[in-house]
Chains A and B, each alone.
Chain A
Amino acid sequence: MSVDKPGRRQGEFRRAARRFRRDPVALFPLAFIIVVAAAGIFHRALAPYDPSAQLDVSPFSGPSAEHWLGTDGLGRDTFSRILEGAGVSLRFSVLVVGVALAVAVPIGLLSGYFGRGIDVFLMRVMEAIQSFPALVLAIAIVATLGPSLLNAGIAVAVGAVPSLARLTRAQALAVREEIFLDASRAIGTPTRRILWRHLLPNVLSPLIVQASVFLGFALLAEAGLSFLGLGVQPPSASWGSMLRQATDTVLAHPWEVIPPGVAIVLTVLAFNLLGEGLRVALGSSAPPRRRGRLGMTMVAREAEPRSALTPPRDGQDLLVVDRLAVEFATPTGRVGVLDDVSFSIAPGETLGLVGESGSGKTVTSLSIMRLLPSPPGMITGGGIWFEGRDLLSLPFRDLAAVRGSGIAMVFQDPLVSLNPAMTIARQISQVVRWHRGASGDEANRLMREALELVGIPRGRAESYPHEFSGGMRQRAMIAMALVCRPRLLIADEPTTALDVTIQAQILELLRDLRAELDMAMLFVTHDLGVVADICQRVAVMYAGQIVETGDVDAVFKNPRHPYTSGLLKAMPQQAKPRSELYVIPGQVPEFATIKAGCRLASRCDFVRDTCTAREIPLIASGVNHLSRCTRTAELDLAGRS
């Protein structure tokens, strides 16, 4: 669920620039490169001496007040030559990378976008170039064309093209599958424009990073080639050629190698650090998620001392969730995402937890098993009792025992929840071994029983998850959840990803299993039709609160909260065909902007001043029927006839 602050209007690149500006690791190298570049560009004005002039001083003079970095063997000022060299080296690097990109990016885009023959041809050419070691290739080119900085540049650029082209192609291949390219094709946008406006900007991020790293590489290549005498020719200075001259006399005058050597090392390092900084800035905006310590949601019940909470009535309820409150840590502070969530489930009973996206239904179901990742999630109030034990104060070892054997969970997408590298049979028997400490034979027997229970034929137990269809995978997931015979099954949107006829199969299966195993269910879904099908009681969630709860017949026939009534009227199932459907005006509020009082107030047709005056509690509005609406008694709300 997102608790994003309503963001300022900005594009991806502008956001990346903002992230970049806040990152000292990226800013420092950038500043260094700017200084080096400025020195190179303005070296004539900045240099104290003419870099080529043989001054009337002793050669190899070493650092002094007049000559900060000393003089070389011909009596030239080293500092002035370093400045001149900076210009030569950087101009070379920028040109080489620019030329390489100009060649590589179109090759990569065409290859990635069109594929087939074009791709095969271009990629074979790239491979042919790559099969030569880059430096050997450069030496060969310079040897053929003669030593000069231009020829060295051509050599380095040719060597850089294949890897940049491959990077572009890989990125283009990924973007090619994006729907927005299809959308442009459907509009009839000419291919040139699709490539230029849609494909290119979206492949740019990794290219920018790679270009920065390549600038360092080109600088190093220039230094290497000049060192070998294949690049810059005297009397021009470059860091590589200076290094070469210095090494001739390194034993007698070791100082001479230091200035060009340090300049090369620092500048290349700066390019690489800049690349890293760009990678971070251009990468995903979300910081990497970390699991909480011990894999449990953190509990910090400051607001409410534990003694104030009422423990569950003896033996009546399997699960009691009492005034649960959950907050998320965001960059702008803590935001409450669950408030005053209370419900209970009796043995063998099925409760539907229904709501739209962002209502908090999944946060609730994850909190019960303390599976909500911390950070950002944190339970800040309330209690969760399972079979009389407070799950929020259990140590990890005891909680792990409850997970799987007492309460089991089934998720929406079984492909993500199953291990792709293990057969279904092994995954299920492993669960038994962990939880029951069963022997191999015993585990296998229970595994076969569980598969039979969910209707997976014996011959298919040794399959891998990807060999199963969506429906079969969900059956396997259910088998794994039920193999330890839990008393409570939490099913989080278990049929949402499935087709209608497969959904019918899974619902039928769950209905049968529930009766056979006398198991309670918490069924989390957005689909009121599914709730009507399989649940006995329902809790409707909106913006982090339960707004109405009661028996399904009462709630569907006679809803006592305007939101429930609105949801029912918005469904096309029993509306007159082609008639206008009821619409709940406005949008679900952002959690950060929630104000006191009824959270539906801004969208409700029946709103009064009293609705926003104070927090609204759940109010009894029938037998076992509660509604978080001050006007619940007086309103005449439409339900299903």
Chain B
Amino acid sequence: MSAALNDKFRTSGAPLLELRDVSMTFPVRGGLLRRVRAHVHAVSDVSVTVRPGESLGLVGESGSGKSTLGRLALRLLDPTSGSVHFEGQDVTASARSRLRGLRSGAQMVFQDPFSAFNPLQTLEASVAEPLEVHLGLRGMDRTARLHELVSLVGLPSSHLERYPRELSGGQLQRMAIARALAAAPRLIILDEPVSSLDVSTQAQVINLLGSLQERLGVAYLFIAHNPALVRHVSDRIAVMYLGEIVEIGEAGDVYENPRHPYTHALLSAVTVPDPQIQRTRRRVVLRGDVPNPAAPPSGCRFHTRCPYAMDQCSVEPPPAFQTRDGTSIRCHLHTSGPRLDGSPVAVLGKPPAPTVRERDR
């Protein structure tokens, strides 16, 4: 596909996917009568858009709700509140049987390629599934398209006759990408697509994803826990903590000049394969664990671990703060206290002596 088409995709204003104030809570049941004891707030009031042809990186740690958000976007889960729009259409209320537009327009690639395929089917049967379901392809057309797909992801056609266990993790993840591409989607949700792969295989898959985006103009929602990886593949980055997006903006801005203390700490924890840098860089090591999402902290959810926490942080949830370059941050530091007013957290220098804020449970 031409670069011109690519540009058209990137500049067109209408979002491809839009989540508006989406929340997802899961009931926690317990006891003899399996009564609902609490609710896990996996995602809380998240609004985010993915534009056509762009790559939005979603980074966060376990329990941040990033995978839940991916599943909500595809309506694999029904949000507790809020709405999901795909290509301008509200797909929140659609019955599952009427989701065909979303289903063929948006696809997903999962973390573990070995469990993402039916072990009893050949890969041909698995990769052909979207072709049969959405395009009704049969016979020669089906075969031709299958061969086109596997060559697109750089595998020989003979691999189609194999069973999942006969391929390596990297090859299988390519097959998963081929399957996701089969029905020519406009959006692919990539849920930790390379975190189960070795470094050298990881690079192959990342390169493949990049070249496919260039050729096909498909948009990515790239979900990962490794900030360096997300930085490498994304145009924009959203950082999640305990079910909320705490910072979202252009990838370079977020990665080079983090404005939220959590982003700052997260990025300082990324290890770089350079012993000199590792020895000399300043780290912000967060104390304690991610709090229990069934009982998130009051006010700002990060205040229990934040090295810069102020009194108001435990009381008031911070509103979104917009900087001039379009980054949005949820942190009181930008409007009160040291008044960062859109500057990166690094200007505050060394954080006040970190105290262990381990909550007694």
Are A499 and B115 in contact (CB-based, < 8 A)? no
Residues of A within 8 A of B341 (CB): none
- With A9-B162, A529-B270, A529-B272 as contacts: A180 and B198 at CB distance below 8 Å: no
Residues of B within 8 A of A527 (CB): 271
Interface pairs A-B: 8 shortest CB-CB: A188-B103, A529-B271, A499-B61, A572-B232, A504-B269, A570-B203, A581-B203, A356-B198
* A179 located at the interface, meaning its Cβ lies under 8 Å from any Cβ of chain B in the complex: yes
Are B231 and A577 in contact (CB-based, < 8 A)? yes
Tell me the A157-193 residues at the B interface (CB within 8 Å).
Answer: 178-180, 182-190, 193
Known: A499-B290, A505-B285. 14 other contacts (CB 8 A): A9-B166, A180-B119, A182-B110, A183-B110, A197-B121, A457-B358, A501-B269, A503-B269, A526-B198, A532-B274, A553-B276, A574-B274, A581-B207, A582-B203
A188–B105 alpha-carbon span in the complex (Å): 10
* A299 located at the interface, meaning its Cβ lies under 8 Å from any Cβ of chain B in the complex: no
- With A532-B271, A556-B275 as contacts: A459 and B203 at CB distance below 8 Å: no
Are B269 and A500 in contact (CB-based, < 8 A)? yes
A455–B74 alpha-carbon span in the complex (Å): 41
* B48 located at the interface, meaning its Cβ lies under 8 Å from any Cβ of chain A in the complex: no
Are B252 and A577 in contact (CB-based, < 8 A)? yes
Mask of B84-127 contacts with A, CB within 8 angstroms, 1/0: 00000000000001011011100110111001111111100110
A86–B351 alpha-carbon span in the complex (Å): 86
Main SS of the interface on chain A? helix
* B322 located at the interface, meaning its Cβ lies under 8 Å from any Cβ of chain A in the complex: no
A13–B121 alpha-carbon span in the complex (Å): 10
Residues of A within 8 A of B76 (CB): 182, 185-186
* B202 located at the interface, meaning its Cβ lies under 8 Å from any Cβ of chain A in the complex: yes
Which of the residues B118, B269, B276, B277 comes within 8 Å of A202, measured between beta carbons? B118
Are B179 and A501 in contact (CB-based, < 8 A)? no
* A563 → B minimal CB distance (Å): 9
- With A9-B166, A201-B118, A500-B266 as contacts: A640 and B274 at CB distance below 8 Å: yes
* A636 located at the interface, meaning its Cβ lies under 8 Å from any Cβ of chain B in the complex: no
Tell me the B164-192 residues at the A interface (CB within 8 Å).
Answer: 165-166, 168, 170, 176, 179, 183
Please count how many residues in chain A sit with their CB below 8 Å of the partner chain's CB atoms.
Answer: 71
Chain B residues proximal to chain A, CB less than 8 Å: 61-62, 74, 76, 97, 99-100, 102-104, 107-108, 110-112, 115-122, 125-126, 129-130, 133-134, 161-163, 165-166, 168, 170, 176, 179, 183, 198-200, 202-204, 206-207, 210-211, 225-229, 231-233, 251-252, 265-266, 268-278, 283, 285-287, 289-290, 356, 358, 360
Residues of A within 8 A of B273 (CB): 528-529, 531-532, 556, 568, 571, 573-574, 640
Residues of A within 8 A of B200 (CB): 356, 566-567, 570, 583-584
Tell me the A1-55 residues at the B interface (CB within 8 Å).
Answer: 7, 9-13
* A602 → B minimal CB distance (Å): 14
* A238 → B minimal CB distance (Å): 39
Could you write out 14 A-B pairs with CB less than 8 Å apart? A179-B111, A180-B116, A182-B76, A184-B129, A186-B74, A186-B107, A188-B102, A188-B134, A197-B125, A455-B356, A457-B360, A526-B199, A574-B274, A587-B170
- With A499-B225, A508-B285, A533-B278 as contacts: A583 and B207 at CB distance below 8 Å: yes
Are B110 and A573 in contact (CB-based, < 8 A)? no
* A634 located at the interface, meaning its Cβ lies under 8 Å from any Cβ of chain B in the complex: no
Residues of B within 8 A of A190 (CB): 97, 133
A527–B198 alpha-carbon span in the complex (Å): 9
Residues of B within 8 A of A188 (CB): 99-100, 102-104, 130, 133-134
* A430 located at the interface, meaning its Cβ lies under 8 Å from any Cβ of chain B in the complex: no
* B60 → A minimal CB distance (Å): 9
A568–B203 alpha-carbon span in the complex (Å): 11
Mask of A396-422 contacts with B, CB within 8 angstroms, 1/0: 000000000000000000000000000
A201–B275 alpha-carbon span in the complex (Å): 51
Residues of A within 8 A of B211 (CB): 580
Instruction: Name the residue on B nearest A534 (C-beta).
Output: B278
A471–B285 alpha-carbon span in the complex (Å): 13
Chain A residues proximal to chain B, CB less than 8 Å: 7, 9-13, 178-180, 182-190, 193, 197-198, 201-202, 356-357, 455, 457, 459, 469-472, 499-505, 507-508, 526-533, 552-553, 556-557, 566-568, 570-575, 577-578, 580-584, 587, 640
Are A567 and B62 in contact (CB-based, < 8 A)? no
Are A187 and B133 in contact (CB-based, < 8 A)? yes
* A506 → B minimal CB distance (Å): 10
Are A9 and B161 in contact (CB-based, < 8 A)? yes
A554–B272 alpha-carbon span in the complex (Å): 15
Which of the residues A179, A574, A580 comes within 8 Å of B210, measured between beta carbons? A580
Instruction: Name the residue on A nearest B200 (C-beta).
Output: A584
Residues of B within 8 A of A11 (CB): 120-122, 163
Residues of A within 8 A of B251 (CB): 577
A190–B270 alpha-carbon span in the complex (Å): 42
Give the A-B contact count at a CB cut-off of 8 A: 204
Which of the residues B125, B163, B183, B271 comes within 8 Å of A10, measured between beta carbons? B163
Q: Which of A508, A556, A573 has the largest number of chain B CB atoms within 10 A? A: A573
Residues of B within 8 A of A178 (CB): 115
Which of the residues B117, B206, B268 comes within 8 Å of A572, measured between beta carbons? B206
Instruction: Name the residue on A nearest B251 (C-beta).
Output: A577
Which of the residues B204, B233, B275, B283 comes within 8 Å of A552, measured between beta carbons? B275
Instruction: Name the residue on B nearest A570 (C-beta).
Output: B203
Are B199 and A469 in contact (CB-based, < 8 A)? no
- With A186-B103, A187-B107, A533-B278 as contacts: A500 and B270 at CB distance below 8 Å: yes
Residues of B within 8 A of A193 (CB): 133
A471–B287 alpha-carbon span in the complex (Å): 11
Q: Which of A198, A503, A529, A566 has the largest number of chain B CB atoms within 10 A? A: A529
* B216 → A minimal CB distance (Å): 16
Instruction: Name the residue on A nearest B120 (C-beta).
Output: A201
Are B271 and A530 in contact (CB-based, < 8 A)? yes
Are B270 and A573 in contact (CB-based, < 8 A)? yes
* A241 → B minimal CB distance (Å): 43
A540–B18 alpha-carbon span in the complex (Å): 46
Which of the residues B133, B199, B358 comes within 8 Å of A570, measured between beta carbons? B199
* A569 → B minimal CB distance (Å): 8
Are B225 and A500 in contact (CB-based, < 8 A)? yes
* B111 → A minimal CB distance (Å): 8
Residues of B within 8 A of A184 (CB): 118, 129
Instruction: Name the residue on B nearest A12 (C-beta).
Output: B120
Residues of B within 8 A of A356 (CB): 198-200
Q: Which of B97, B126, B179, B232 has the largest number of chain A CB atoms within 10 A? A: B232
* B118 → A minimal CB distance (Å): 5
A582–B199 alpha-carbon span in the complex (Å): 10
Instruction: Name the residue on B nearest A175 (C-beta).
Output: B118
Residues of A within 8 A of B278 (CB): 529, 532-533
A475–B45 alpha-carbon span in the complex (Å): 34
A410–B61 alpha-carbon span in the complex (Å): 23
* A424 → B minimal CB distance (Å): 14
A567–B203 alpha-carbon span in the complex (Å): 10
Which of the residues B126, B163, B232, B283 comes within 8 Å of A577, measured between beta carbons? B232
Q: Which of B165, B198, B226, B287 has the largest number of chain A CB atoms within 10 A? A: B198
Are A556 and B274 in contact (CB-based, < 8 A)? yes
Which of the residues A470, A526, A553, A573 comes within 8 Å of B228, measured between beta carbons? A573
Residues of B within 8 A of A529 (CB): 270-273, 278
Residues of B within 8 A of A198 (CB): 118, 121
Residues of B within 8 A of A202 (CB): 118-120
Are A578 and B233 in contact (CB-based, < 8 A)? yes
Residues of A within 8 A of B269 (CB): 500-501, 503-504
- With A9-B166, A566-B200, A580-B207 as contacts: A500 and B226 at CB distance below 8 Å: yes
Residues of A within 8 A of B130 (CB): 187-189
Residues of B within 8 A of A182 (CB): 76, 108, 110
Residues of A within 8 A of B126 (CB): 180
Are B115 and A179 in contact (CB-based, < 8 A)? yes
Are A459 and B168 in contact (CB-based, < 8 A)? no
* A113 → B minimal CB distance (Å): 14
